[in-house]
Structures are given as structure tokens and as C-alpha cells.
Amino acid sequence: MRRTLKQPVPRQRSPTVESRVAIHRHPLHPIMVVYPIACLTLLLPADVVRLWTGDAFWADVAWWLNLVGLAGGLLAAVLGICDMFLIRVARRHVSAWNHFIAGVMLLALAAAGVWLRWPDPAATGYWALLQSAPTAGMVGVVGWLGGTLSFGHGIGVYGHREREEEPASGNEEPDP
């Protein structure tokens, strides 16, 4: 049983590349993507509830979710593009370019949703559902690719400090 609360650290870590767009080593792109992810994912349930209940309130909710998702996505995209072009090794990964292209496609879907809902959010009917369903799917694809970059390749993350000397595993007790 472990005797300390210190997290176990593997002997060899995969190399990581710190984000260049960060505040006190906290990368801004991963911080900012949570807002468009939340808004554009909740867009589909809002459209389903709108069609189910017929309540125009949910059309307004979907309008604002789409607008905030697009605006937040554009800000997160600018931060991500800065990271991509400031980190040389990131541009060598196919995952980075896939994430970039899929992100542009997601922003295009979000912009189409704003355009569709612009004059009267309640008048969109099933067209809104046809826009929000692929948008929710693309959120999953873009998130998966971004997670591959961060967790699989260690790109644009917090970065590791040097390993402290400690026993080989967290289960061993230190020598007295």
C-alpha cells in the first residue's frame, strides 16, 4: 500500500512540447475550447427539445448556444493556430493538420447555424436539427483529434519538469 499521497511517476515519460501561447505555463487553447465544445454540443439537445415541445424559448436558447459557440470557437481557433505555427514539431504531425482542418469544418457548420437562425430562430424547424446533428458529431471528431495531440503526442500541454529521485514504485517503502 502506498504510504504517501505523491503521484507515481513513470521512469520514462514521453516527450512533451509546451504550449507557446500560455499564461504561467497554462496553455490557453485547451482552456478556451471548453466553451465552444459545451455550446455546440448542447445545440443538438436544444433543437430536439424545441421540436418536441414547440416552445420558441428553446429556439432562442439554440440561437445563443450557436452564436457563443461560434465566437468562442473563433477565439480558440486563433489560439490554436498560433500554437500550431509557433511549435515546429506540431506541424509535423498529421494529427495536428487533421485537427486544424476538422476545426475549420466545425466553425463552418457553426457559422451556417448562425446564418440559418439569424432572422428568426423559431422559424428554422427541422433545418436546425439537420445543422446541429453534424455539428455535434464534428465536435466529437475535433475533440478526439485534439486529445490525440495533447495526450498521445504531448503537444501544446503544460509540460513536464524533471523527475525527482524516488523509489522505483509507489508501493515500496523508503529505506530508513
Q: pLDDT of 37-52, one tens digit each?
A: 999 999 999 999 999 9
110-155 per-position pLDDT tens digit = 999 999 999 899 888 899 999 999 999 999 999 999 998 888 888 8
For residues 40 and 60, give the distance between their C-alpha atoms in angstroms, rounded to a whole number.
Answer: 14
Whole-number pLDDT of residue 155:
82
Question: Is the pTM value of this prediction over 0.85?
Answer: no
Q: List alpha helices for the chain, DSSP H.
A: 28-32, 34-53, 56-86, 94-117, 126-147
Q: Are 114 and 25 within 8 A, CB to CB?
A: no
- Rounded to an integer, what is the distance from CA 66 to the centroid of its chain? 16
Pseudo-torsion of CA 104, 108, 109, 111, nearest 10°? 130
* Each residue's pLDDT tens digit, 55-98: 999 999 999 999 999 999 999 999 999 999 998 888 888 889 99
* 34 close to 73: Cβ distance less than 8 angstroms: no
pLDDT band for position 3 (50/70/90)?
Answer: confident
The single residue listed with the C-alpha cell 436544444 is 46
